[in-house]
Each structure stands twice: as C-alpha cells, then as structure tokens.
Amino acid sequence: MGVRLFLLGPMRAYADEAVVKLPPRSRLLSLWGYLLVHRQRPTPRHLLAYSFWPDEAETESRLNLRRHLHRLLQLLPPAPAETPWILSDHSTLQWNAAADAWLDVAEFERLSAEPTRLAEAIELYGGDLLEGIYDDWVFAERERLRELYSHDLHRLIEEREQAQDHQKAILFAQRLLRHDPLREETYRSLMRLHALSGDRAGLVRYFNACVTVLRRELNVEPSRETRQVYESCLAQETPGSPRPAPAAASPGPKPNLPAPLTSFVGRERELEEVRALLARTRLLTLTGIGGVGKSRLALALATSSPSIFPDGIWWVDLAPLADASLLPQAVASAIGLREQSTRPIAQALADTVRSKRALLVLDNCEHLVSDCAALVAELLRASSEVRFLTTSTEPIGVPGEVVWQVPPLTLPPPTVMGEVPLEGEVEASASVRLFADRAAAALPTFRLTKGNLPSVVRLCRALDGIPLALELAAARLKMLSVEQLVARLDDRFRLLTGGSRVALPRHRTLRAVLDWSYGLLSEPERALFRRLSLFAGGFTLESAEAVCVGEPLASGQILELLSELVDKSLVTVSRSDPARVRYGWLETVGHYAREKLIESGEADQVQGAYVGLYLEMVERSGERLLRGPDQEEMFWAIDQEVANLRSAMSYAEGAGDHAALARLTSPLWPFWWTHGYVAEGRRWLESVLPHREKLPEDLQANVLQAIGRLMALQGDYDRAQAILEDNLEVCRRLGDRPRIADALSSLGVVASNQQDYARADNLWSEALEVYEAQADRWGMARASNNLGDLAVYRGDYALAIERLKRSVDLFRELRSTLGESISLINLGRAALLLGKPRRADGFFRQSLNLKVALADKEGIAWNLEGLAGVAGAEGRADRAARLFGAADSLRKAIGIPLPAPDLPLYGRTVEQARQSADPGLWEEAWKQGTAMDADQALTYALATDMA
C-alpha cells in the first residue's frame, strides 16, 4: 500500500488515497518530519532522543523516542519485511527511501535540480515546511527550502525574461513577491517587466506598493537603486535584458573587525543558518548565555561577508562602554565619522548610513539594551540597505528584529556515559572538538585517547558544551589531568578560572560570566532566578508560581519575570509537550543559582513550598496510577516530574520529615514497578520503615502495602509476606474494607509466587467477596485476573480463559490500561498452553501495545517472552531465541526476575523452541536478541511476517 506524504505546508499523509489521521499538537509529527527531511542519512538514536527531549534523563528520553516510533508505525499501513518504513540498527534510525512512499519535499528537491522542470518544482511548494511546528531543527530546514523555492523562481523569471515572455515572467515574479513581500529586488524586477511589456500603470502600481509595504512593515523608504530603476523605466530608459556584465567593482572599505585569537571550531552549521537569516532581515540579534560564543559567531559571520556589504562592515564592541550617552560616539568612531559641532551625532550617523549597503555589528549590548534599541531604530528608519547584527544576552526589542539564540556546542552522545565510547561519534561532537583544540594549545602533548575519552565526554556534558567553560577547563590541563578536572566539577566556579589576560574581565572566570548576567537583573528577577534552582528536572509556569511566590514576588509577577529570564538567556524553554511548555536551564547555570539561593537564606522557606507542591501532585495522582481511567496520562505526568520528585524526597528525608517522605513515596509504587525502578522505590520506602510507629495508621498501611509489593517483585517473598501481614493487621484495625481487600490481594500474590496455590485461592476469593460487597468493579476485575492466573498454574485452562476474559472486559469498561494489559498477558499464556498459538499471539500483541503506551518495562518483558513462546510453538526457533534473549536482557536491566511459579512454563517453552533449532544457530540468535535495544526488540516483536 503506497503512502503520499506532504510536508510543505501543514503536514498531511494519505494511505491509498485515504487520509491518515495525524495526532494534533503531537511531538510525533516533528519527529516524523525530521526523519523524512533527513532521509538520506541515518541519525544516531541518542541524538534524536536528546534533541527532542533534552530536559529528560537519558533513559526517559530514549523511552519517549521508542514510544513515538511505535505510535508512528501504528499510524502507517503494514510494510513488507524487505522494505520497512524505518531502517533501524543498534545505534541509528533512518526513514527508508526505498519504502513505498512519495514525499513532496523529495520530489521538490529532485525537480529543482533539473533546469527544464523548475515550473513543476514550484507547483509542489504548498507552503513553508511543516507549518505550525516550531521546533528548533525545523527553522534551518524551512529556511533552506524557502531559499531553494526563491532560487527556482529567480531562475524562471530570468529564463522567461530572456525569452521575452514578459507576462509569464511577471506571474513568476508575483509569486516570488507573495513568498517574500519585503524583498526590494522583486519589486524592481516587476517594475522592469511591466515597463518592457509597455504597462506603465503596472510599473507605477508596483513602485507604490513597494513604498507602502516598506513604510508599513519596516518604517523605511525604498533604496536609491529602487528609485533609480523606477525613474529610468518612467523615462523609457528601461534596462534591456540580458544586461552586459558590470565592470569590476572597486574593493570596499576595509572592515574594522578584530582579529580572532583562536580558531573557529564547531559552528559550521550555525554559521550557515545565521548567514541565511542575515540575508533576509535587517536586524539580527544573536542571544544566549554569557560565554556561549555569541561574539565569536558574529565575528565569523562578519569576516565571511565582505562581498555582501560593499560599503563596509563596522564592528562596535560595547563591553567597555559604561556610559550609555557615549553610545552614538562609539558607533561614529567605528564608522570613521568625525564629530561635527553643527549637527547632532545621531543625525550625522543617520546621514552617513542612509545610502550604504553595509553591516553594523554591535557586540555585547545587554547592559545598554534600551539605548541600543533607540539608536538602531533610528538608523533603520534612515536607510533601507544597512543591516544590523547585534549580540546580547537578551533581544534588543526593535520591530522587525529576528532573534536567534546561540546554542551551546553539540555534546557527545549520552550513551557513552559509563561505557566504552564510540570514538567517531564522540569526536564528531563540537564540544569535544573545541576542548581538544584548546587543550592542545594549552598542553601541546595533549591528544584524545581511548583512555581519556570517557573523562572528556563527562567533562563536556557536565559543562553543557559552553565554549568559555570548555576553554577555561582546557587551560587547567597545565596542572591537572582530565580525570582530575572531572572529579572537581562540583566546585566548578573555583576550578574554572585563569582565562586569557586579554579577555574581558568577566570572561576570565566562569563565575564572573554569571556574576555579570546576575548583576544585570532586577531584584525580583534575582529572587525568581534563585528560587527556581530547586527544580531538578525542569518546571512549568504553574510549578514556579506555586513554589517561588513570597516577598518580593507576588503570584501575578511570575509570568512576566520568567519571560524576562528566558529573554536574558538564563532560563531555557522546552516544548516536548506541545500542550504544556516546560522550562529549565543549563546545569552550570543551575549550580550558580543554587549557590545564590543558599547565600540568600531563603532555601528552607522555598524548600517547604517545593516539597508541598510535589506532595499535592502525588496525592492527587497516586490512586489514579493504579485504578484510574487516565493511567497513560498519569504515568506520563509522573515521568515528567520524576527528577523533581526525587529531589523533594531527598529534602523530606534530610529534614527528618518521615510523614512527608511516606506520603511522597508510597502512592508511587505502581510507577516504580512499571518503569523499572523497583530497587529505588524500595530504598525510599525502607528508609521510612524504622519510623513507621510515628505515622498515622492509614499512612502506615500505605507504606507497608507499597514496600511489600516491591519486595515481592524482587523475589524477596518471606520479607514481603511478613510486611503484608502487618499491613493486613493494620487495615483490620482501621476497619477499612477496601484496604482489607487490597491487602488480601497482595498477600495472594506472594502466596502464588511461593506456589502455595491453596492459600492464594483462599486469599483472592475472600478479596473478591469484599470487592463484590463494595460493588468495587476495579477490585472485581483484579480478583478475576488473579483467580484466572491461578487456574493457569493449576492447569485448568478453560476456567482460566473464562475468568480472564471477564477481567479484560471489566478493565476495558473502566478504561484501566494497566489492568487490561496484565489480563491480556495471562490470556495469552492460557491460550498458548491450550495449544492455540495464533490466539495467544493476538493477546500478546494487544498487551504489548498497551505496555508500550504505559512505558511498562516489566510488562514489555512478559510480552516478549509470550511472543517467543508463540514462535517456538510454530517452529520459528530463530525468532523465539531472539525474543527470549531480548526479554532476558530487559529483565536484568530492570532487576525484576521471573516469579518462581513461571519458571517451569518458561523452561518448557524455551526447550520446545530449542528442539527445532540448530544448537549453534540458537545460541547466536539468543545473543543477537540480548544485543537488541528496546526499539529494535519492539519492532522485531511486532513484525507480522518476521521469520
């Protein structure tokens, strides 16, 4: 089945002419678009995960990537095994160019490369790339395709003009004008073409349109060249076409650019992007945190642009300028303009730039931002040709300004942390390249080696790829090894000192850079900046309002102040959830803000609000993790905040607030379980146990229930039974029948795992009676699942299927994804044991899809084992071995072994599959399965025709 994909304009997809329903406001669309646009080369998985979910831990960002890929494949029709939609290996992903798909971008680029088919190419351009999607990666690709479309139209205009087909040339020029209505060159083409056609009215109309648009949008007048073309055409001195080649221009004035003292490393792509932006805008501002390399990028851009600005490039360094009133004189001095007593200096500047095609660079504007804005606005009004490039930690704030945030240098892949790094991927990262370059300058004997590469990676990642921080670290190699530098990074502000003596004072230490930015903040901005340092894994606006309010900050101020911190490049913005923006910052900035919070004496007060915020969140969502109809959303919400939850737990533990710690941890046990954090959850809960007698009995019951379940998952059945019996006793004292039923159910799980089936039957049957008396449909579904699973162990598969189908039906009615997915696994096992592998396959696949949506790692392992059993029963030994190997690897990673009652069944299914395999091939296939990452394992497991 063929698929047609449209990325030019709003994203659309069709499968056999039927519309593919795309999820609105989903990260999935951006990810799919990225793979399609970059279809010519594989993309490392770690880069995709980090780029799309930069504020999340590595494991969580990779999990998000797997979920989105799985949902993408669900949107698409099944593809043949030999031409899958996505090519996947251990480390990369790539859209398969050989798949049965037509892509408008690919066709547009192909036709644009054929001079005789440009007219077909422009008809495919249905709008800018991925309209409505604003992820960072899109802007550069959108600009590239815009430029290609403009180039095609230019070529068509020239071609039609040379053929004297003026009417067709006019149509192409009109199209180009709609595409970019601020480009004067297009107005000049239209005036000339109308004159060549004898259409004097059209000539006047387009000149007047040019005047109107430039005044309205940019508050400038048309350039001298535009007026000359207009006047020449009016006088019927229309320039012919083609024109003779112009005489060689005399070289323009020599730019006053500072000489770079170091090589330009790692910004090649960024340089191309800002060059394209500067060609389209008259005021481009490079923003970013201090030390990120704004000035160096601006200098590289200016140095590479002399031919574009024949009347000069003027560089004005404002860092030494403390008196704002001297700003016009500083600019005049850079231009070479002498002060005249007869005219104000600002007026003289305006007159000087009026007819210039020049570039004026204002470097380090942040401490004079208002005065820079006023001067730039005045000069923009004076000339339509001069362009401005400014660098600042915040935007200038002039209408028409395009702001481009300079990112830190690209980081080496997070997958190498604690592992042997992949040298090619590591050395390709810009941060490693810069560090190695500066390290060799500081210590000529320095080389990247297999021995120091892991430490270099840790250093670059810990310093966020900030060029200044990396250069300061490299300078320390005269005295310390890379390994010693890494060991001292907790004291990074004292470590990273001693920069170049010729650098600005604020660029000689990492602390001085941040002191400079902090010093430019107002007192309310400083207070918010300090208090936000408590957030460990990013935060929302609502979280900031809940935690940071308090003298001198009122609730209504937070949005405006947070916006200021974003503008000043101290806070970053993440749109991984299109419906809810999150904020964060670079690790180095967070360290600095935390120091300021401690110095302020506000830490205890703000920590109390912080812990309170996450207590409220957990208590609001805890029960819904296990029973609610919105479990997917609840697990995702907890996943987003897991770093903050851990931080809140640490504060509660450090303060000796055991009640708060119990309230934070006990409701989360389903999350610890499904996401493979069983050992961590158990550690938190065990730290509460010695203090349980001080807790209210209902809270004691919550802790005992949670820790007992986690102990059982780890196979620690004796301790789990003792803890859960204590829990049952507490629940009986409380007289809380729902709690009693849950306690009985949990004890039944332990009894079943101990293979005491008679006791498990009694406990679960008693629990079912309580649930039925309470009309608790979720409890009834749970008990039916447990009793059905028990029937599987006892070999009564018909009874098992009856009970498990009832459980599935109830869970579906309640929209309990977790419950349904568990019952489907048990149904699959029963069907497999009944000798019906095809039915079992369907149950396992349904469950696996639900487990992926929940990010339930143990559940995924169960389903991989189930599908392996199906493959073995059908004689597909290689597939069975790979799936068993993948499941075994996953279980070891999350620390949840198979329960004892399941080992005999597991052993039988493994042996059944092994019997039909060549022994050597079986071991090799198993090894291949253990080497699969989760993405590969899921793709392989869900393939419909995999051998």
DSSP-assigned states of every residue in 849-880: HHHHHHT-HHHHHHHHHHHHHHHHHTT-HHHH
CA distance 479 to 386: 48
Burial class (CB in 10 A: 0-12, 13-18, 19+), 865: buried
Burial class (CB in 10 A: 0-12, 13-18, 19+), 209: middle
Helices 642-654 + 631-640 axis angle, to 10:
60
Answer positive or negative: Cα dihedral of 588, 593, 598, 599.
positive
Between 259-268, 305-314, 747-756, the lowest mean confidence (pLDDT) is in 259-268
213 closest CA partner among 235, 191, 187? 187
Residues 6+ apart with CB under 8 A from 408: 292, 431, 464, 465, 466, 467, 586
pLDDT of residue 531: 95
DSSP string, 648-702: HHHHHHHTT-HHHHHHHHGGGHHHHHHTT-HHHHHHHHHTTGGGGGGS-HHHHHH
Sheet containing strand 101-103, strands side by side: 18-19, 12-15, 3-6, 101-103
Q: What are the pLDDT digits (tens) for 174-196?
A: 889 888 888 888 999 999 999 99
Between 62-71, 339-348, 915-924, the lowest mean confidence (pLDDT) is in 339-348
What's the pLDDT band for 644 if we cut at 50, 70, 90? very high
Q: How many other C-beta atoms can be found within 10 angstroms of the C-beta atom of residue 4?
A: 15
Which of helix, strand or coil describes residue 180? coil
Query: Is the pLDDT score of 213 beyond 70?
Result: yes
pLDDT of residue 418: 44
CA distance 563 to 552: 17
Residue 900 near residue 755 (C-beta atoms within 8 A): yes
Cβ-count burial 866-878 (b if 16+ within 10 Å, e if not): bbbbbbbbeebbb
What's the pLDDT band for 740 if we cut at 50, 70, 90? very high
Beta strands 387-392 and 283-287 are parallel
CA distances from 242 to 161, 163, 245, 800 (A): 8, 10, 9, 86
Residue 402 near residue 275 (C-beta atoms within 8 A): no
What's the pLDDT band for 243 if we cut at 50, 70, 90? very low
pLDDT of residue 46: 76
Tokens of 415: 């997958």
Tokens of 732: 């009986």
Between 267-276, 501-510, 525-534, 720-729, the lowest mean confidence (pLDDT) is in 501-510
Tally of CA atoms within 13 A in the half-sphere of 30 that contains its CB: 21
Query: Is the pLDDT score of 903 beyond 60?
Result: yes
Tokens of 39: 């279809």
pLDDT of residue 427: 63
596 closest CA partner among 506, 525, 648? 525
331 or 354, which is more confident?
Answer: 331
Residues in the chain: 947
Taking residues 377-402, what's their average pLDDT? 89
CA distance 32 to 48: 11
**898 phi and psi angles, rounded to 5 deg:** -65, 140
Point out which residues pair with 317 in neighbouring strands: 363
Which of helix, strand or coil describes residue 837? helix
Between 132-146, 160-174, 746-760, 832-846, the lowest mean confidence (pLDDT) is in 132-146
What's the pLDDT band for 244 if we cut at 50, 70, 90? very low
Tokens of 774: 């309470």
Taking residues 932-940, what's their average pLDDT? 80
Between 55-59, 529-533, 771-775, the lowest mean confidence (pLDDT) is in 55-59
CA distances from 360 to 218, 257, 310, 370, 889 (A): 17, 11, 12, 17, 59
Taking residues 846-853, what's their average pLDDT? 90
Tokens of 285: 């501002």
Residue 568 near residue 521 (C-beta atoms within 8 A): yes
Percent of the chain with pLDDT over 90: 41
User: Which stretch of DSSP H or E encloses residue 360?
Assistant: strand 359-363
Query: Is the pLDDT score of 742 beyond 70?
Result: yes
Query: Is the pLDDT score of 475 beyond 70?
Result: yes
pLDDT of residue 75: 84
Tally of CA atoms within 13 A in the half-sphere of 848 that contains its CB: 29
Answer positive or negative: Cα dihedral of 461, 404, 94, 888.
positive
896: left (phi over 0), alpha (psi -120 to 50) or beta: beta
Taking residues 116-140, what's their average pLDDT? 86
Beta strands 86-88 and 92-95 are antiparallel
CA distance 504 to 494: 18
Which of helix, strand or coil describes residue 570? coil
What's the pLDDT band for 873 if we cut at 50, 70, 90? very high
CA distance 117 to 829: 59
Between 166-180, 206-220, 522-536, the lowest mean confidence (pLDDT) is in 206-220
**316 phi and psi angles, rounded to 5 deg:** -125, 110
Please identify which residue in the block is written with the tokens 């923009």: 380
pLDDT of residue 239: 46
What's the pLDDT band for 622 if we cut at 50, 70, 90? confident
What value does the mean pLDDT of the chain take? Answer: 86
280 closest CA partner among 109, 414, 149, 123? 149
Taking residues 144-171, what's their average pLDDT? 90
pLDDT of residue 947: 42
271 or 711, which is more confident?
Answer: 711
The Cα angle at residue 668 between residues 662 and 674, in degrees rounded to 5: 150
Residue 207 near residue 230 (C-beta atoms within 8 A): yes
Query: Is the pLDDT score of 58 beyond 80?
Result: no
CA distance 422 to 141: 28
What's the pLDDT band for 934 if we cut at 50, 70, 90? confident
Helices (H), strands (E): how many in the chain?
45, 14
pLDDT of residue 945: 45
The Cα angle at residue 852 between residues 850 and 856, in degrees rounded to 5: 95
Tokens of 689: 């146990």
Taking residues 540-569, what's their average pLDDT? 90
Taking residues 251-258, what's their average pLDDT? 68
pLDDT of residue 245: 38
Between 2-16, 18-32, 329-343, 431-445, the lowest mean confidence (pLDDT) is in 329-343
Cis link prior to 54 (omega < 30° from 0)?
no
Helices 658-665 + 603-627 axis angle, to 10:
30
Please identify which residue in the block is written with the tokens 């939609």: 85
Query: Is the pLDDT score of 76 beyond 80?
Result: yes
Residues 6+ apart with CB under 8 A from 672: 678, 680, 681, 682, 710
Tokens of 219: 């508050």
**403 phi and psi angles, rounded to 5 deg:** -105, 130
What's the pLDDT band for 385 if we cut at 50, 70, 90? confident
Taking residues 573-584, what's their average pLDDT? 74
User: Which stretch of DSSP H or E encloses residue 574?
Assistant: strand 572-574
Between 23-37, 605-619, 766-780, the lowest mean confidence (pLDDT) is in 23-37
Tell me which long-range contacts 13-19 makes (C-beta under 8 A, separation of at least 24).
13/75, 15/76, 15/77, 16/77
Q: How many other C-beta atoms can be found within 10 angstroms of the C-beta atom of residue 911?
A: 10
Query: Is the pLDDT score of 248 beyond 50?
Result: no
Q: What value does the CA radius of gyration of the chain take, rounded to a whole number of Å?
A: 33
Query: Is the pLDDT score of 623 beyond 50?
Result: yes
Tokens of 887: 């499941």
Which of helix, strand or coil describes residue 399? coil
CA distance 694 to 339: 80
What's the pLDDT band for 251 if we cut at 50, 70, 90? very low
pLDDT of residue 252: 53
Taking residues 131-155, what's their average pLDDT? 85
749 closest CA partner among 597, 902, 931? 902
CA distance 61 to 54: 7
Tokens of 605: 């007060």
Percent of the chain with pLDDT over 70: 92
CA distance 62 to 58: 6
CA distance 752 to 899: 9
CA distance 547 to 550: 9
pLDDT of residue 90: 67
Q: What are the pLDDT digits (tens) for 793-832?
A: 899 998 999 999 999 999 999 999 999 999 999 999 999 9
pLDDT of residue 59: 66
Which of helix, strand or coil describes residue 43? strand
**38 phi and psi angles, rounded to 5 deg:** -100, 35
CA distance 117 to 108: 10
pLDDT of residue 503: 45
